[in-house]
Amino acid sequence: MYEPTYWKDEVVENPYRYKETQNSDGSIEHVPYPGEVLQEGTEQSAKNFNHMEQGILEAHEMSAEAVRMLNSVIRKVQGLDGEKITVVLTNSQTYPFNNSQKTLQLQTRRNYKTYLITAEVVSVTGGAVGSFFMSMKKGVSRGIFSNEAGLGTGSIAHACADTRKPVKQGFFGIFEVFVDTIVICTLTALVILCSEVPITYGQAAGAELTISGFTATYGNWVSLFTAVAMCCFAFSTIIGWGLYGARCIEFLFGTKVNKPFMFVYSLVAIVGATLDLGLLWSIAETFNGLMAIPNLIAVFLLSGVVVKLVREHFDLEAREEA
């Protein structure tokens, strides 16, 4: 069985200390003078690297065996004589069997009339508990549009910052997530709830609900201000996502495809403004999920680097204050 080798960094007594030496020509040379070595770093030798290659090879072999077993199970399941039917139940205490208004139709005609039906509740959307979980699900999915947490797009904007302290810039990224979601979205929700405007359960709520909430609270004059503010927010969002897309497409194919991409992007923005709101939300949530999956994997793999940079940042601040 493969046993991982945990790499260690070289730790010295004082990594930021330098020794000043005056040369014969009058110049001054600063030479690193770290002092005593407190921890020897892992040797970057062929032995250690070959050990890593062995672990990767064993992982590939195990994954190939897992895929083979999964394919075998899939073939067995496909051979079963059965089918799945999705039934939508209303918020009722009786299931429609006899004397009911609904009939369950099997997709494949059978020669016998005896069936074994197994009911499995895969989601709950009624009652207080179901409403709470549905609200939480919608809140998380909609919150992604305000703070972009986990998508990896915010790093494109923060990379343009002129700073020598990346950790400090990262703190600004954390702060903007708090302001966008906890402060601004909460205030908007409180305006809608406190205005007592009717909210139809099960129907998609768009910008008109927010405008109605502000109008019911502050009067009709605020509808113009709210509409202008939303247009500004939407326009800035279009520009921001255009920048993200342009940087990604430039990284993949070079600068020559920037103009064609922006042309196609502008057409997609027009199409998005005319699509059904429910379909538009579903498409956006799907693509956000596709972006979040690889980005979260990369964040997990780079978590050690982040911890190391944060520790160095606070250690440097502590030395500067001392």
Amino acid at site 261? F
**What's the confidence (pLDDT) of residue 18?**
81
Q: Which two tokens stand for residue 55?
A: 């672990």
Which position has the token pair 């016998």?
A: 112
* 38 DSSP 8-state letter: E
Tell me the angle at which helices 207-218 and 186-195 cross, rounded to the nearest 10 degrees.
60
Q: Are the C-beta atoms of 147 and 177 separated by less than 8 Å?
A: yes
- Alpha-carbon gap, residue 271 to 279, rounded angstroms: 12
Interacting residues of 130 by C-beta distance below 8 A, sequence separation 6+: 123, 124
CA distances from 259 to 51, 156, 161, 245, 265 (A): 47, 19, 24, 12, 10
For residue 293, the number of C-alpha atoms closer than 13 Å in the C-beta half-sphere is 5
pLDDT of residue 206: 65
If you search the block for the tokens 């929700």, which residue do you land on? 189
- For 57, 242, 267, 269, the CA distances from 264, given in Å and listed in that order, are 43, 10, 5, 9
- pLDDT for 98: 46
Q: How far apart are the first and last CA of the chain?
A: 49
- E strand or H helix that includes residue 73: helix 46-78
What integer pLDDT is reported at residue 131 of this predicted model?
A: 64
Q: What pLDDT, on the 0 to 100 scale, is given for residue 141? A: 72
Distance CA(196)–CA(161), nearest Å, equals 43
The residue ranges of the chain whose pLDDT is under 50 are: 93, 95, 97-100
What is the per-residue pLDDT for 291? 84
